[in-house]
Amino acid sequence: MSSMKKNISSVIFATAIIIAAYLLANAFVNRNKSEGIISVTGLGKADFTSDLIVWEGSVMTYRRHTMI
């Protein structure tokens, strides 16, 4: 019975190692695969409409010197 438990644990451990190696290798092979990303190299021009608004502002503070 004890030998059977050792064999089952060894099989489970070996299966976990194989699955981890597969996932790591798959991540390594597909590391440069783009998923819905547009990659552009060079210079180009295109007119487009944007919904981004840039607000600018400034804050000034004055420090009053007091003598005691």
Structural domain count of the chain? 1
Q: Is the pTM of this model over 0.75?
A: no
Please indicate, yes or no, if residue 3 is contained in any of the structural domains.
Answer: yes
- What is the average pLDDT across 7-11? 90
DSSP 12: H
Angstrom CA distances, 20 to 13, 31, 33, 34, stand at: 11, 16, 20, 23
Reported as a single tens digit per residue, the pLDDT across 39-60 is 777 777 777 777 878 888 888 8
Please indicate, yes or no, if residue 27 is contained in any of the structural domains.
Answer: yes
Please indicate, yes or no, if residue 16 is contained in any of the structural domains.
Answer: yes
DSSP 67: -
Please indicate, yes or no, if residue 66 is contained in any of the structural domains.
Answer: no
Nearest to 18 by CA among 10, 30, 6: 10
